[in-house]
Structure 1
């Protein structure tokens, strides 16, 4: 088993633990609905118990909701992605059962903030590792591919709608606290998920052919070559390479540049936007 597989399994385990802690230590004690499929499962579990006297646990409903979504992910996204996602879903359902509900506090503001932060952190880590937590993540990835909107923004819209129905049925007070938690969770996802962050590189080099070939082989990005660039100190002719990459790729790209041209000058501009999506699952 190689290091990449071990790393992904470890991140899946970390997600399962962090999301279960967020639910059982903060959201349930604070009477706050969880986000995504877990929140939908929580709401449906309560409705079935209150209206029909049918008992279905949250972990069981999470598995039932995820089954058709995992089939869609297998067909529309990526099979390796889906295999790790299945592992994450199964492990999460297991940990939700074995980790007890432990009320560190019942303050809804504290529960909303810390539950949302923990959950957003765990989701961002999985997305940044080429798989997801299932459920809403799968829908979010498909929506992002179709609309180019960020995954975190989709989470926020979905969960606000979920809270509207929860507040309408059970009262508005905790629905507003839950909406705050979802907003924090969505922002944390976008902060942690480095795939969505883009940086622009400007590379001044005397080895443009070798460097361009190395970069295109490794990251498969379009590169703009600007000719006739002259250094002000030595007046040697150089070329300028311009490309946009994800934040996650930056360390690897800098190592590639150093291997080909140790004297290359690199300028890095964060927070850029483009009119094209350069990465797809």
Structure 2
């Protein structure tokens, strides 16, 4: 019994079909983001938030390729993402950012579809948001801002969402000095549309999510979540309304970047488990902070 549980807790390799599906969708998401940037936003001097926004500003000031900055500035976050979230996330992010950097370079000579900054902000923000949402939904990221915010949150009184908001307000404000204040305002429109589109694409953009799992293999699942996600779990006593049987309910809180990995763990150990995931507006106190994964 102990040997079986130990094998279940340890990381198992993803199937080729799962890896292929994830790779194709992350590739598609990264290309869509590149289209939103190079065909709509960048030619109209409208920027996005995060590392992408910094990359657009630096590319404009230096004349160097946007893809170079997108890749270089995200490099440190591959390692940080590996330590905070896991190997699968880091590899998925590396692949997504590489595709994004190459795609922006290849799309750079393509003629833009509109020179109207409002249309560019709306449609560029939508396409960019869909791309980012797809990548996040399938376990990766195209911007190191969220990883950076999770890291800073451990040593600050601010939430991940608040840190991201402050960071992006600074970047979007900087666009006013570089491109003009009208472009900064268009950038705010594009950022808001992208933000809401990501929300729709991944069905919930809140950084924290509560997870409820009912499974006969509750102990193995709980230990796997602790070992592979570094998240604490709580076992609650429950009773089936129809059967009257005693049941154990697993409760834990994760970040939205960890949702794909948690679902993978549950699917791997108990495909028949009941799983419910809900958005949380705020998390304070307790043992929500992540444990180090060795």
Same fold (TM over 0.5): yes
Q: Within 5 Å, which residues of 2 pair with 1:174-193?
A: 174-191=183-200, 192=202
How many residue pairs align between the two structures? 259
Pick the aligned partner of 2:209 from 179, 189, 198: 198
TM-superposed deviation, 1:252 = 9.1
Aligned counterparts of 2:270 and 2:20: Cα–Cα separation in 1: 28
TM-superposed deviation, 1:239 = 3.4
Contact 1:156 1:182 in 2 (8 A): no
Give CA deviations for 1:138-179 in whole Å, capped at 9, x if unaligned. 32343456568345x544432221121220233101101101
Residue of structure 1 equivalent to 2:131:
122
Pick the aligned partner of 1:26 from 40, 48, 52: 40
Matched, 1:277 2:288: yes
Contact 2:67 2:101 in 1 (8 A): yes
User: Aligned in 2, Cα 1:172/1:98: closer, same or farther, shift over 3 Å?
Assistant: same
TM-superposed deviation, 1:189 = 3.7
TM-superposed deviation, 1:71 = 4.3
Give CA deviations for 1:79-130 in whole Å, capped at 9, x if unaligned. 3322222222221111111124433223323322222232233223323333
- Higher Cα Rg, which structure: 1
- TM-score using structure 2 length: 0.68
- TM-score using structure 1 length: 0.70
Pick the aligned partner of 2:235 from 223, 229, 248: 223
User: Aligned in 2, Cα 1:106/1:81: closer, same or farther, shift over 3 Å?
Assistant: same
Aligned counterparts of 1:83 and 1:257: Cα–Cα separation in 2: 25
